[in-house]
Structure 1
């Protein structure tokens, strides 16, 4: 074996001494699942929250609708079937594609061959009164596994009972929750059909509805947010997990957020059809008629203050549950800071895990600090160290080939 080959092998060995795998010795951090930690919330300012960490709440706290289909009578003959209107199934289970251990949600499910409607309701921890002139923030996550079309998912805030009735009355009230139940606020994603009424649309539109009641004649009127303001609250896709937030202020303004981003804002007096009339009983009729006059300088009632108190919450879908819908991390509060921190600890934790999986951070070993030495001795010391390494390497190479 010639000396050139030995020198080449020695050079390769010396070059490999400083190699440490990746650039600068850094390597991607291995992905680790984390445990879900329920947020710690104050009792003041929070009217309801649900993370579905306890599976026993299904059927006790959360009551599926037992509303029945109505019989139609014509010429003394009954038509229809008095069966249950909402026959979909529910389960508290792990979130689809979740990267957090113990992250459970309420799953709306039904047969792949038969679309079943869903409606389920729960009582608030304490009533919310609009007359207290505090903001109302409603927030929840909805996870849609596949693309949907011609369907909607609604979170409805229900008036229920302002007093505390017997338990069986509350149970019956929740069991009767359906698409005809009176509500104060309805909010959620809507998946419109195409113009032909078939096919998929890649757009998700968030709808806002307000329900009012009239004493004479007694009726429940639904006011829908319409116009360009409401159409701005859209997503360019209709799959995956998203965070929906509605904030309503005592001055009649409202704000819609999707994934913590403000998508639109409007006013209860301007952007709803039919118009929400003023029925403030604190003002005499003649005062209400004078409010629009330029010389009127008195207090101005708001539509926000006249909405009925909220005592229950309902979840409903008309379609799409065949594909699987998971709802999670619901909160009703009057404090924007509480809602924001709640989102950071729940929705934000999921985003952090997704980012850690897609873009793992690099781990770089700490380099040992060099001890200052005298410059005159440093060069000689470094040269002697290098010569010693070369000697060891050449000795190893020679012994490997049996040359010594």
Structure 2
């Protein structure tokens, strides 16, 4: 039994050792973070960050992170790392965010940039690969963004993912796998998953190979007709966003209603595609969730009320390592953080009660003093 446990531990350590950690930041070395993170000077009105664990925390040092400090400001800051490609590999992006001020309107998301990003001029116009994390504004917007760049356009996940809206620290994780599946986790729990192809409405972006110039279709030979045709009855979805989703195109249907020498009936030949897909792996060729030159991570966002703390950044190719890292950071301090908040809340309530009682007593005292003064004035008269 003991040997089995030792073997299991050895296997776990080996798997962790095999993980590739592209970037990891916990801000455990004090102000040295300023040597790694570059504040954008693109706009003199950008807000500044400081290192803080906030008003309440689970561990004063471990919970220190980048905190926004000025209200109604844009923020732009980033850190570089050795460039890499996630082609053929899993990509895991993870971090913690704490809206201590209980966000009313502002972003809590991060962006992953190409290695050639201009850090000094980072702004909302800087091209990015991935945008991930919570965004809150009023009663309507309380969502987790998952936006991917594809063919120089930004495409957003069509499934609504609700974010956390309280004032505690939460762990956000995005997993993109080589088989085009994805997973979004909050606090280690899966809240959304599926296919990048379908959940980003990217089926209209299939790579097509045009027929050779001068080629002529033969009219009556079914074998020359393509096996795919446009869905003529399809219409553009009402929520289609041209900037995010690109040009809309009807989806392609397969398996036309004829076999052997039978001609298709009830189908207008003009809707048939006289083009063919280059191969069945067009999605992999298009690299819908693969990026060749990942090299920076950053915060580029707007906040009405400042106070958000960003910490425990991780970019890796290993889901198991990300889970362990999350448990060793956020997992260790989430409980004590809530305990400290509860203690502070009780102290604030006690203080408020004492102040109310003091005001009440002072009011009674002032009332008696006024009566005393009125009584003596009556005697004088």
- Indicate whether the TM-score tops 0.5: yes
Q: Tell me, which stretches of 5 or more residues in structure 2 are unaligned?
A: 1-15, 212-225, 229-251, 256-275, 343-381
Counterpart residue number, 1:99: 58
Aligned to 2:167: 239
Deviation at 1:57, TM superposition (A): 3.6
Once superposed, which parts of structure 1, at least 4 consecutive aligned residues long, lie more than 6 Å away? 283-286, 289-297, 355-359
Q: Do 1:154 and 1:317's aligned partners in 2 also have CA atoms closer than 8 Å?
A: yes
The answer to whether the Cα contact below 8 Å between 1:254 and 1:267 also exists between their aligned partners in 2 is yes
Match in the other structure for 1:128: 84
When residues 327 and 357 of structure 1 are mapped into structure 2, their CA distance, relative to the original with a 3 A threshold, is: closer
Partner of 2:21: 46
Change (3 A) 1:56 1:284: farther
Matched, 1:142 2:80: no
Q: Structure 2: how far apart are the matches of 1:276 and 1:157?
A: 25
User: Normalization by structure 2: what TM-score?
Assistant: 0.62
The question of whether the paired residues in 1 share the 8 Å contact of 2:25 and 2:311 is answered with: yes
Q: Give the distance between the partners of 1:311 and 1:340, measured in 2 at CA.
A: 23
In the other structure, the counterpart of 1:207 is 145
In 1: Cα distance, 2:171 partner to 2:86 partner: 24
Once residues 43 and 121 of structure 1 are traced to their aligned partners in structure 2, the CA distance between those partners, rounded to angstroms, is 27
Alpha-carbon distance in 2 for matches of 1:356, 1:116: 31
Cα distance in 2 for partners of 1:185, 1:358 equals 33
Report deviation, 1:273: 5.1
Alignment map for 1:317-356 (pairs within 5 Å) = 317-320=301-304, 322-354=305-337
**Alignment match, 1:222:** 154
Q: Please show how residues 277-356 of structure 1 align to structure 2 within 5 Å.
A: 277-278=205-206, 299-302=281-284, 303-304=287-288, 306-320=290-304, 322-354=305-337
Distance 1:57 1:43 in 2: 28
Verify: 1:192 aligned to 2:151, yes or no. no
Give 1:262 shift. 0.5
Q: Is the 8 A contact 2:56 2:337 kept in 1?
A: no
Largest Rg, 1 or 2: 1
Residue in structure 1 matched with residue 198 of structure 2 by the alignment: 270
Please give the TM-score of this superposition, normalised by the length of structure 1.
0.58
- How far 1:326 moved relative to its partner? 0.6
Higher helix share: 2
Q: Could you say what secondary structure the match of 1:100 adopts?
A: coil
Q: Cα 1:315–1:355, aligned 2, differ >3 Å: closer, same or farther?
A: closer
Task: Indicate how the Cα distance of structure 1 residues 101 and 309 shifts in structure 2: closer, same or farther if over 3 A, else same.
Answer: same
Alignment partner of 1:88 is 2:82: no
Q: What CA RMSD, in Å, does the superposition of the two structures yield over aligned residues?
A: 3.3
